[in-house]
Amino acid sequence: MSPRLDAAQRVVIKIGSALLVDKATGEVNRPWLDALAGDVARLHAAGKEVILVSSGSIALGRRVLKLPRTRGPRLEEAQAAAAAGQIRLAGAYVDALKPHGISVAQILLTPEDTERRRRYLNARATLQTLLKLRAVPVINENDTVATQEIRFGDNDRLAARVSVMAGADVLVLLSDIDGLYTADPTTDPLARFIPEVPEITAEIEAMCGTTRTDVGTGGMVTKIMAARIAVAGGCSMVITSGKVLAPVAALQRGARATWFPAAKSPAAARKQWIAGTLKPTGRLVVDAGAARALKDGRSLLPAGVTAIEGSFEKGDTVVIADAAGHELARGLASYGADEARRIQGRNSRDIEVVLGYRGRDVLVHRDDLVLTG
Ligand SMILES: Nc1ncnc2c1ncn2[C@@H]1O[C@H](COP(=O)(O)OP(=O)(O)O)[C@@H](O)[C@H]1O
Ligand SMILES: N[C@@H](CCC(=O)OP(=O)(O)O)C(=O)O
């Protein structure tokens, strides 16, 4: 049994190129993908939300463009291959999930999209909407525009960033290996299996060689880096073998796996991040009604804001204070300072008229808000 997976509401599954692309033919391994689609459908039927992070565009595109199948093509070739392969990759997911009545939506991200707050918030909002609509986002790195210096290059860390961005409870890394060992088991016969890593120490990091498969790029090193990102963001991570049909069902039945449990929930980790680690760049003064609403766990509407100080951009952290100057909360602003000033004191209905576009109804959403006073 896997109680952590059973308890999860939002699950991210990372699929490496080595699993999805048949090494001999350079094509999608259909039986495997069809079985994975069964996994996704079962999770969906259990009411969970599923996000897939899938590699494979470069491996698939190499065949389409008749590039050599060996590893390490030049960056331009890899980018061209990704452009040709991504269509097939996304199409393969559409085909596999269609019989289950599940819609697929593609999102291609660069590291910047997960780092720059404005883009991060937009990507996050899109993800949330897709999940609300019960679609399955299929995410990959935007390899055609990402240059070498700014690329993730591996989808392990991309998957971890996506997991934190989406507030996922569990990230499942499907690999060619069933978990973490004390050393690379493919070369060290004395390597012992580790079922759980409560803390990622230097000793754990030292266990990971740099061995890489023919078509994958990650190795164990990037999986440990991914675990750090996920766990810090409140998302538990698990590495298990994807070399079986329906690997998630296998995990649920107790297949071997290494867990990296998160101490906090995604929401708690996020709130801690908002409350503690960011330097507020602005200040919103609110009236008594808005102060009460915040205490009741509601969002901050522009109507309750009486003054705005400082200069901040959409997505920046702002302090929310009462008329007497006491800090009540901190949160991420849905609008930059200039726009916030224009809608301050106004009813949310008027936002479209004032700004000329239909933005968010709230100045700080309750998910982005933490009470500090
Ligand atoms: N300590 C370790 N425990 C498990 N695997 C390890 C370890 N050190 C190195 N490896 C290697 O990492 C490989 C997994 O990485 P990789 O093949 O790149 O996965 P993926 O394609 O799923 O990203 C394993 O096959 C194994 O050879
Ligand atoms: N994003 C690229 C490559 C990323 C990749 O292979 O990552 P991984 O599966 O973690 O080794 C692709 O789709 O081909």
- Per-residue pLDDT tens digits for 291-325: 999 999 999 999 999 999 999 988 888 999 999 99
Nearest ligand to the CA atom of 203: 1
Beta pairing class for 305-310 and 282-286 = antiparallel
Name the token pair of 261. 């449990």
Last residue of a domain, one of 235, 266, 297: 266
| Closest ligand 1 atom to Cα of 17 | 21
Sign of the torsion angle spanned by Cα atoms 151, 154, 157, 159: positive
| Closest ligand 2 atom to Cα of 55 | 13
Round the average pLDDT of the chain to a whole number and report it.
90
More confident residue, 321 or 270: 321
Kindly give the distance from the C-alpha atom of residue 245 to the centroid of ligand 1, in angstroms, as a whole number.
Answer: 19
Do the annotations mark residue 219 as ligand-binding? yes
Answer left, alpha or beta for residue 283, where phi above 0 means left and psi between -120 and 50 means alpha. beta
Q: Which residues pair with 284 in a beta bridge?
A: 308, 320
- The pLDDT of residue 277: 57
- The pLDDT of residue 214: 39
- Per-residue pLDDT tens digits for 133-167: 999 999 999 988 877 666 777 899 999 999 999 99
Look at residue 118 and tell me whether its pLDDT is greater than 80. no
Give a yes or no: residue 96 inside a domain.
yes
Burial of 231 (0-12, 13-18, 19+ CB in 10 A): buried
Give a yes or no: residue 309 inside a domain.
yes
Clarify whether residues 133 and 199 are in a common domain.
yes
Give a yes or no: residue 17 inside a domain.
yes
- The pLDDT of residue 113: 81
Give a yes or no: residue 125 inside a domain.
yes
CB 107 within 8 A of CB 142: no
Name the token pair of 144. 């055609």
Give a yes or no: residue 290 inside a domain.
yes
Look at residue 116 and tell me whether its pLDDT is greater than 50. yes
Clarify whether residues 253 and 302 are in a common domain.
no
Clarify whether residues 307 and 223 are in a common domain.
no
| Closest ligand 2 atom to Cα of 216 | 11
Name the token pair of 278. 């960011």
Do the annotations mark residue 48 as ligand-binding? no
CA-to-CA separations, 240 to 23, 120, 126, 237, 257, in angstroms, rounded: 20, 29, 29, 10, 5
How much is the CA Rg of the chain, to the nearest whole Å? Answer: 22
Kindly give the distance from the C-alpha atom of residue 148 to the centroid of ligand 1, in angstroms, as a whole number.
Answer: 22
- Per-residue pLDDT tens digits for 41-90: 999 999 999 999 999 999 999 999 998 766 555 788 888 999 999 999 99
Give a yes or no: residue 126 inside a domain.
yes
ipTM confidence score: 0.94
Give a yes or no: residue 259 inside a domain.
yes
Range of the domain at 296: 278-371
Last residue of a domain, one of 237, 266, 295: 266
Q: How many domains does the chain have?
A: 2
- The pLDDT of residue 261: 96
Give a yes or no: residue 153 inside a domain.
yes
Lowest average pLDDT, out of 123-132, 139-148, 164-173, 180-189, goes to: 139-148
Clarify whether residues 65 and 162 are in a common domain.
yes
Clarify whether residues 290 and 231 are in a common domain.
no
What pLDDT band is residue 2 in, cutting at 50, 70 and 90?
A: low
Nearest ligand to the CA atom of 219: 1
Clarify whether residues 366 and 310 are in a common domain.
yes
Kindly give the distance from the C-alpha atom of residue 177 to the centroid of ligand 1, in angstroms, as a whole number.
Answer: 6
CATH number at residue 347: 2.30.130.10
For ligand 2, mutation pick of 138, 148, 155 (most atoms within 8 Å of CB): 155
CB atoms inside a 10 Å sphere around CB 348: 16
Q: d(Cα 40, Cα 179) in Å, to the nearest integer?
A: 21
